[in-house]
């Protein structure tokens, strides 16, 4: 249990210090970005960027290198769970961390090398802001996650909800709680429909039924799937240049992504007992997707 005598910003500082000390893994995507901006990226080049004072030119790149990923946020979620962190607390936290010598490591996986360094104080404010610590999860939604979601996925799901740039409305929370209770997320494949629902709820007008809007979206996805399949069939018999010359302007939709959306919507609708709209194309079946089509996120 947290010690109530410890100021919130100091309690969080202990956790964040440990997270920073654990190091930052330089992903292939970040390395490729560095390669695109520098002729020969290497550890020596990164060390030169880290020498104080940090220049305005290197600061954006360091913000990318020291970006808190989901695994870091999930570790911090244990401390944030059911705690309210104000903007004042966040400001005190940043000032407190600036006074520390935060040792960390950059792990260059591609080269199997590491760089021992000190976390740049210049990017601490943005780093803390990206942790989204001032956003408080609805307690009832947090209870539903703790009750119905497997232990391995709980903090990751809380992080993903915490990271969305809009507040969950009461109707959204009620709907999400019902889906969690019915579908009981247990695997990383289940995170796919959780992510879909989190993003979908952002587009839902309050006055309309969420289930009805899911049905409408299902119809749209089925229509786009037919169009995408027709496009690919025509492309297989021709080429893109010829099709464009003939005036063909059909927008391209990713068949796999559409199929995933269809399966997820069907799973949610059947879970709440609504079923598919009468106009649904029976040729589009949930059997087109399997759990293995939703791979586990990296680093989990």
pLDDT in tens, 2-36: 455 678 889 899 999 999 999 999 888 888 887 77
Of 108, 130, 152, the residue at which a domain comes to its end is 130
pLDDT: which is higher, 143 or 294: 143
Res. 144: pLDDT tops 90: yes
Q: What is the pLDDT of residues 84-93, one digit of tens each?
A: 899 999 999 9
Total domain count for the chain? 2
Cα dihedral angle (255, 256, 258, 259), rounded to 10 degrees?
110
- Residue 2 within any structural domain of the chain: no
- Residue 1 within any structural domain of the chain: no
Same domain? For 107 and 234 the reply is no
Res. 298: pLDDT tops 90: no
Res. 289: pLDDT tops 50: no
Range of the domain at 284: 137-300
Please count the residues of the chain. Answer: 300
Query: Average pLDDT over the chain, rounded to whole?
Result: 84
pTM: 0.82
Region of 237 please: left (phi>0), alpha (psi -120 to 50) or beta: alpha
What is the pairing mode between strands 113-118 and 103-108?
antiparallel
pLDDT: which is higher, 106 or 299: 106
Tell me which residue of 122, 83, 103 sits closest to 1, measured CA to CA: 83
- Residue 84 within any structural domain of the chain: yes
Same domain? For 297 and 173 the reply is yes
Alpha-carbon gap, residue 104 to 21, rounded angstroms: 5
What average pLDDT does this structure show over 80-109?
Answer: 91
pLDDT of residue 38: 65
Angle at CA of residue 87, ends 81 and 131, nearest 5°: 50
Q: What is the pLDDT of residues 180-238, one digit of tens each?
A: 999 999 998 899 999 999 999 888 877 789 999 999 999 999 988 888 888 778 777 77
Res. 295: pLDDT tops 90: no
Same domain? For 124 and 193 the reply is no
pLDDT of residue 300: 38
- Asked, as a colleague might, if the bond just before 53 is cis with ω within 30 of 0, I would say yes
Same domain? For 211 and 280 the reply is yes
Same domain? For 94 and 240 the reply is no
Buried b (16+ CB within 10 A) or exposed e, 220-240: ebbebbeebeebeeeeeeeee
Res. 68: pLDDT tops 80: yes
Of 130, 148, 167, the residue at which a domain comes to its end is 130
Same domain? For 149 and 292 the reply is yes
pLDDT of residue 279: 54
**Is residue 25 a contact partner of residue 299, using CB atoms and an 8 Å limit?**
yes
- Residue 184 within any structural domain of the chain: yes
Same domain? For 114 and 167 the reply is no
**Which SS3 state, helix, strand or coil, does residue 105 take?**
strand
């Amino acid at each position: 249990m947290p010690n109530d005598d410890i100021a919130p910003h100091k309690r969080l500082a202990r956790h964040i210090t440990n997270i920073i000390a654990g190091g930052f893994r330089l992903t292939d995507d970040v390395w490729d970005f560095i390669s695109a901006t520098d002729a020969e990226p290497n550890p020596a080049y990164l060390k030169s960027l880290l020498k104080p004072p940090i220049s305005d030119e290197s600061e954006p790149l360091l913000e990318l290198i020291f970006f808190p990923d989901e695994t870091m946020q999930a570790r911090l979620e244990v401390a944030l769970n059911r705690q309210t962190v104000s903007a004042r607390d966040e400001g005190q936290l940043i000032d407190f961390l600036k006074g520390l010598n935060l040792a960390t490591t950059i792990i260059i996986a591609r080269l199997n090398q590491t760089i021992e360094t000190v976390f740049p104080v210049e990017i601490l404010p943005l780093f803390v802001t990206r942790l989204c610590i001032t956003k408080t999860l609805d307690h009832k939604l947090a209870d539903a996650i703790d009750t119905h979601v497997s232990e391995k996925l709980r903090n990751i799901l809380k992080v993903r909800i915490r990271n969305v740039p809009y507040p969950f409305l009461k109707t959204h929370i009620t709907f999400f709680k019902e889906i969690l209770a019915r579908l009981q997320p247990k695997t990383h494949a289940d995170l796919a429909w959780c992510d879909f629902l989190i993003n979908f709820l952002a587009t839902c007008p309050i006055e309309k039924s969420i289930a009805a809007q899911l049905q409408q979206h299902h119809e749209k996805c089925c229509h786009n799937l037919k169009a995408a399949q027709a496009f690919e069939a025509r492309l297989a018999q021709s080429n893109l240049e010829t099709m464009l010359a003939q005036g063909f302007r059909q927008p391209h939709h990713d068949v796999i992504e559409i199929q995933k959306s269809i399966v997820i919507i069907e799973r949610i609708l059947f879970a709440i007992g609504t079923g598919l709209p009468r106009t649904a194309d029976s040729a589009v079946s949930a059997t087109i997707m399997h759990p293995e089509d939703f791979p586990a996120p990296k680093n989990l």
